[in-house]
Structure 1
Amino acid sequence: MAAGDGPGYFHIFGWLPARISIALLALLGMMNAVMVRVNLSVAIVAMVRWNTTAITHQVQVHCTATQHHNANASDLEGVSIGEDEDEGAEGNMTRSPALLDDSVMEGELDWDEVTQGFVLGAFFYGYCVTQIIGGRLSEVYGTRIVFGLSILAGGISAVLTPMAARMNYIILIIIRIIQGLFQGATIPCIFPLMVRWMPLQERSRFIAYVLFCNNLSITFTLPLCGLVINYLGWAAAFYVTGGLSLAWCALWFTFMYESPNQHPRISPEELQYIQEHLEENESQATPASHQATPPASVPWREMATSWPVWAILICDAGNSFGFSVYFSHIPTYIQNILGFSIKQNGVLSALPFLCRYLGAIISATVADMVMARGLLSVLSVRRVFSTIAMMGPAVNLLAVAHSGCDPSTAIALLCVGFFLNGFITTGLFANRVDITTNFCGTLTGLSNTCANVVSVIVPIVVGSLTQNQQTLGQWQKVFWMCVPVYALSEIFFLIFASASTQKWNYSNISKDTYEAEESTSEQEESFLSGVTDPNNDQNI
Structure 2
Amino acid sequence: MTIEEPLKSSESLAFSHVEVNSSIKKTEGSFDWSSDQEGLFLGAYFYGYVCTNIMGGWLGNKFGFPIVFGLPVFISALLSIATPIAAYTSFPLVIACRVLMGLVQGVAVSAYQCCWSSWAPPLERSILNSIAMVGVPFGVGFVYPFAGYVSDTLDWEAVFYILGGVTIGWSVVWILIVSDSPRTNRCITAAEVAYIENSIGFTVESGAVLAAPYIAQVGVGPFAGYITDAARQRKWMSTSVAPKVNTIIALSFRNVFTIIACYCTDSTTAIVLFGIGVSLRAFTYSGHLSNFVDIAPMYAGVIFGISNTISSIPGFLGPLTAGLVITDKTSISQWQTMFWINGAFGFFGSIFFFCFGSGVERNWAKREVPEEETEINPNLKSAHSDDGC
User: What's the TM-score, normalizing by structure 1?
Assistant: 0.59
Give 1:259 shift: 0.2
Residue 58 of structure 1 is matched in structure 2 by none
Selected match of 2:82 from 148, 160, 174 = 160
For residue 378 of structure 1, what is the amino acid of its counterpart? T
Selected match of 1:430 from 280, 283, 290 = 290
Selected match of 2:45 from 106, 112, 123 = 123
**Which residues of structure 2 form unaligned runs of 5+?**
8-12, 369-389
Give 1:436 shift: 1.1
CA deviations 1:375-412 (Å, max 9, x no partner) are 432123223222322332243345335x5412122211
CA distance 1:117–1:373, change in 2 (3 Å): same
CA distance 1:166–1:348, change in 2 (3 Å): closer
CA deviations 1:467-508 (Å, max 9, x no partner) are 679765565555555565444433332222211112332589
CA contact (8 A) 2:24 2:330 kept: no
Secondary structure at 2:109 match in 1: coil
For residue 199 of structure 1, what is the amino acid of its counterpart? P
Give 1:268 shift: 1.7
Matches within 5 A, 1:238-257: 238-257=160-179
Q: Distance in 2 between matches of 1:373 and 1:180?
A: 41
Does residue 410 of the first structure (1) align with residue 270 of the second (2)?
yes
Secondary structure at 2:24 match in 1: coil
Secondary structure at 1:189 match in 2: helix
Q: Distance in 2 between matches of 1:461 and 1:438?
A: 37
Residue 33 of structure 1 is matched in structure 2 by 3
Residue 312 of structure 2 is matched in structure 1 by 452
CA contact (8 A) 1:126 1:181 kept: yes
Does residue 494 of the first structure (1) align with residue 364 of the second (2)?
no
Residue 135 of structure 1 is matched in structure 2 by 57
Matches within 5 A, 1:145-184: 145-184=67-106
Give 1:248 shift: 1.0
Residue 210 of structure 2 is matched in structure 1 by 349
CA deviations 1:86-109 (Å, max 9, x no partner) are xxxxx9953355xx8xxxx6x4x6
Residue 393 of structure 1 is matched in structure 2 by 254
More contact order relative to length (CA 8 Å, sep ≥ 6): 2
For residue 33 of structure 1, what is the amino acid of its counterpart? I
Q: Distance in 2 between matches of 1:167 and 1:228?
A: 23
Matches within 5 A, 1:5-24: none
Selected match of 2:147 from 218, 225, 228 = 225
Does residue 192 of the first structure (1) align with residue 52 of the second (2)?
no
In angstroms, what is the RMSD of aligned CA positions?
A: 3.5
Matches within 5 A, 1:269-284: 269-279=191-201
Structure 1 or 2, whichever has the larger Rg, is 1
**Which residues of structure 1 form unaligned runs of 5+?**
1-30, 39-80, 86-90, 283-289, 295-345, 509-540
Give 1:426 shift: 1.3
CA contact (8 A) 1:392 1:421 kept: no
Give 1:114 shift: 4.9
Give 1:414 shift: 1.0
CA distance 1:271–1:133, change in 2 (3 Å): same
CA contact (8 A) 2:69 2:108 kept: yes
Residue 204 of structure 1 is matched in structure 2 by 126
CA contact (8 A) 2:296 2:366 kept: no
Does residue 382 of the first structure (1) align with residue 312 of the second (2)?
no
CA distance 1:491–1:175, change in 2 (3 Å): closer
Residue 95 of structure 1 is matched in structure 2 by 25
For residue 2 of structure 2, what is the amino acid of its counterpart? N
CA distance 1:493–1:169, change in 2 (3 Å): closer
CA distance 1:114–1:420, change in 2 (3 Å): closer
CA distance 1:251–1:473, change in 2 (3 Å): closer
For residue 178 of structure 2, what is the amino acid of its counterpart? M
Question: Identity of counterpart residues, as a percentage?
Answer: 27
Residue 42 of structure 1 is matched in structure 2 by none
Matches within 5 A, 1:285-300: none
Q: After TM superposition, what 4+ stretches of structure 1 lie above 4 angstroms from structure 2?
A: 81-85, 109-120, 458-485
For residue 387 of structure 1, what is the amino acid of its counterpart? I
Q: Distance in 2 between matches of 1:119 and 1:478?
A: 20
For residue 313 of structure 2, what is the amino acid of its counterpart? V
Q: Distance in 2 between matches of 1:395 and 1:210?
A: 26
CA contact (8 A) 2:257 2:273 kept: yes
CA distance 1:239–1:396, change in 2 (3 Å): closer
Q: Distance in 1 between matches of 2:211 and 2:266?
A: 20
Residue 358 of structure 1 is matched in structure 2 by 219
Give 1:420 shift: 2.3
Give 1:84 shift: 6.4
Comparing 484-493 with 253-262, greater Cα deviation is found at 484-493
User: What's the TM-score, normalizing by structure 2?
Assistant: 0.79
CA distance 1:245–1:395, change in 2 (3 Å): closer
Give 1:463 shift: 5.9
